[in-house]
Amino acid sequence: MKTVVVTGVSTGIGRGAASVLVRRGWRVFGSVRRDADARALKRDLGEAFTPMVFDVEDERAVLAAADEVGDSLAGTTLGGLVNNAGASFSDPLLVQSVADFRKQIEINLVCVFAVTRAFAPLLGADLTRRGDKGRIVNISSVGGRMGPPFLGAYAASKHGLEGFSESLRRELQFVGIDVVVIGPGSVKTAIWDKAEATPLDHLAGTIWEQPFRGFTAWMIENGRRGLEPEQVGEVIAKALTVRRPKTRYAAVKGHLVNATLPALMPRRTVDRMMGRQLGLLPGVRHEGH
Least Cα distance to 137 among 43, 4, 276, 46 occurs for: 4
Q: How far is CA 253 from CA 119, 189, 223, in A?
A: 32, 15, 10
- Neighbouring-strand partners of residue 182: 139, 249
From 154, 164, 215, 249, active-site residue = 154
Instruction: Write a three-state SS string for 148-167.
Output: CCCCHHHHHHHHHHHHHHHH
Query: How many whole angstroms separate alpha carbon 58 and alpha carbon 62?
Result: 6
Query: How many whole angstroms separate alpha carbon 257 and alpha carbon 253?
Result: 9
182 near 248, Cβ under 8 Å? Answer: yes
Angle made by CA atoms 169, 139, 217, in degrees to the nearest 5? 145
Annotation says 249 is catalytic: no
Q: How far is CA 31 from the centre of its chain?
A: 14
- Neighbouring-strand partners of residue 178: 135
| Cβ-defined contacts of 48-53 (< 8 Å, 24+) | 48/1, 48/22, 49/18, 49/22, 51/9
Q: How far is CA 73 from the centre of its chain?
A: 26
187 near 13, Cβ under 8 Å? Answer: yes
Angle made by CA atoms 143, 148, 150, in degrees to the nearest 5? 115
Active-site residue list: 154
